[in-house]
Structure 1
Amino acid sequence: MSPTRRTTRRSLARRRVPRAAALALLLATATACANDVPEADWSRGLLPDHITEQAGVVQSLWNGAWIAALATGVVVIFLIVWAAIFHRKRRSKAELPPQVRYNLPIEMLYTLIPLVMVSVFFFFTARDSQTLTKVDGDAPVKVKVEAYQWSWRFTSTVNGRPLQPVAGMPVKDYKQGPQLVLPVNTKVEFDLSSDDVIHSFWVPEFLFKRDVIPGIPEDNPGRKFQINTLDKPGVYAGRCAELCGVDHSRMLFSVKLVPQAEFDQYIATNQAGSAQ
């Protein structure tokens, strides 16, 4: 090997090392684990355990979609293998297989079956979407969620009585962020607003998230949704799911579900205008 060629290879190797290191750093950053990732389970389709009635609708839709997709995949793979094994015929290189113009029954079959499948998927998706976006307006607990760069402000109203707003700053741990306290087994209505950029309100255990878009009027139903909390007390992590700026990853908060008696105590000590 000539010295010139050897030198060229060494220079290429030197260039690849920094590139490989940069790629490894990027992959490590992109796949880094957060400390607020809920535990998933195969029995739930790798979704976290839900804490609202509406999330049960999402879980059922998710499971049904996976069952339909896996069933379709099994049928397709079976047909491919069956055709490859039982419809083989050795021919000379010069001999062409029989040429057919069309097969009307098969063409109707592979047109109608996908049409029926898409129609079924659309029906269940549209039905469940209506359930998830339904707002009755009679929730005893209403929460105004204000998203801003880069944290949250929660202003709760319980049976018409306002509570002290809870606001936060960018944090590294969701437990240090603003905490929204809610009672179990209660209907809660959320009203989302933003004054700067698009954010996204997301609690993984809700199995639901909604963009917080600036400029939407208060009377627009698109900025509201409601949940019915289940009897699962605990502290659950929340975050912004829309890239919104330099501190997007630190836009963390928590939702604390408590029994009704504990929530009544929380109301008594956090009513707007009460002495602290």
Structure 2
Amino acid sequence: MRSNRRLRWAAIPVALTLAVVLAGCTQAELHGYLPGFKEGEAPVTDRTEMVAGLWTNSWIVLLAVGVITWGLTLWAVVVYRRRKGQTGLPLQLRYNMPIEIFYTVVPLILVLGFFAFTARDQAIIETQFEEPDVQIDVYGKQWAWDFVYKGAADGEDVWSVGVQAQEVEGASDTGAVDQDQLPTLYLPVDAKVNFDLNSRDVQHSFWVIDFLYKKDLYPGITNHMSVQPLREGTYAGKCAELCGEYHSQMLFNVKVVSQEEYDAYIQSLEDAGNVGDYGDTYNRNYTPGLTGDESEEGAES
């Protein structure tokens, strides 16, 4: 009884200390120093906090498991070490049923728990908006990006064609790139956005770092992604799948702007004549005007 009472009294200052430390944490610290958070402002997207919470809480649980495991290991090393004058092997114990049940059941509970929380969050993240405010087709290509804003100009598509990152003149040693020439994807703040992700040639991966999420692009297969940006700003993006010689230069930016600025950008694309279909026709292995059967007949002839 006395030892239990001492443990309870010892737990009180520990709990108070943890409460004070956690209360003083910044947004960055509370979310494991992941990008996408800024003190006093909304997260970058509606999915950012969910992803960060799953990641951070998982690490807390795993660190707790690690501390217990390391503690038990050190305890066994110290308590069961060979004493002076002892020879031979220590007494060998087998079939300790309580311990075997413990190290079977606890990992099973952890795995099931991780699976349940991951499946729950993934189902939410992967759900597409039924009525999006903006629909965008993203095309990855060696080694840049094309963005097609579906129906943005009175029902017609408008598009921007990207080039791979260009080094700043005289900065070959640092690898600095000209940000003004990077492909730039514009998104209106607070809008519900659905993406259709496509590849024009080989496998790529669409990764906006501050969104804490990425999605692969496969030739001949359309992948999907949805997001609601909540904070204006410019966010770096890149291809996260090794796709060839200039993979490291397959960069882009995402600009989350006001609705007025977004409308003005769409109008600038329309004024530049970037209107109409700019989809699969420009894929590397696509032959305009031929169906699959006609392509086979042409190959045979």
**TM-score (normalised: structure 2):** 0.70
- The equivalent residue for 2:114 is 121
Show the 5 A alignment for 1:12-161. Answer: 41-49=28-36, 50-88=43-81, 90=83, 92-157=85-150, 161=155
Tell me, what secondary structure is at the counterpart of 1:56?
Answer: helix
In structure 2, C-alpha distance between the alignment counterparts of 1:101 and 1:148, rounded to whole Å: 60
Contact 2:158-2:274 within 8 A present in 1 as well: no
- The equivalent residue for 1:227 is 227
In structure 2, C-alpha distance between the alignment counterparts of 1:83 and 1:224, rounded to whole Å: 51
Contact 2:136-2:195 within 8 A present in 1 as well: yes
In structure 2, C-alpha distance between the alignment counterparts of 1:272 and 1:114, rounded to whole Å: 60
Alpha-carbon shift at residue 58 of structure 1 (Å):
0.6
Provide closer, same or farther for how the CA distance between residues 265 and 95 of structure 1 changes in structure 2, counting only shifts above 3 A.
Answer: closer
Contact 2:148-2:159 within 8 A present in 1 as well: yes
In structure 2, C-alpha distance between the alignment counterparts of 1:157 and 1:48, rounded to whole Å: 29
- The equivalent residue for 2:211 is 206
Contact 1:139-1:188 within 8 A present in 2 as well: yes
Alpha-carbon shift at residue 74 of structure 1 (Å):
1.4
- The equivalent residue for 2:268 is 269
C-alpha distance after superposition, 1:16-50 (max 9, x if no partner):
xxxxxxxxxxxxxxxxxxxxxxxx94443131125
C-alpha distance after superposition, 1:136-191 (max 9, x if no partner):
33111011001111111001136673452111111143442111111111110000
Alignment RMSD: 2.5
Provide closer, same or farther for how the CA distance between residues 94 and 266 of structure 1 changes in structure 2, counting only shifts above 3 A.
Answer: closer
Contact 1:150-1:247 within 8 A present in 2 as well: yes
In structure 1, C-alpha distance between the alignment counterparts of 2:197 and 2:274, rounded to whole Å: 28
Tell me, what secondary structure is at the counterpart of 2:158?
Answer: coil
- The equivalent residue for 1:197 is 202
Counting matched residue pairs gives: 231
Q: Does 1:176 align with 2:175?
A: no
Alpha-carbon shift at residue 92 of structure 1 (Å):
4.0
In structure 1, C-alpha distance between the alignment counterparts of 2:203 and 2:59, rounded to whole Å: 31
Q: 2:227 is matched by which residue type in structure 1?
A: I
Q: 1:145 is matched by which residue type in structure 2?
A: V
Q: Does 1:239 align with 2:233?
A: no
Q: 1:118 is matched by which residue type in structure 2?
A: V
Q: 1:165 is matched by which residue type in structure 2?
A: W
How much identity, in percent, do the aligned residues show? 42
C-alpha distance after superposition, 1:201-260 (max 9, x if no partner):
1110110001100011x5xxxx11100111x21111111111111111111111101112
Contact 2:129-2:193 within 8 A present in 1 as well: no
Gap regions ≥5 residues in structure 1: 1-39
Q: 1:44 is matched by which residue type in structure 2?
A: H
- The equivalent residue for 2:161 is 167
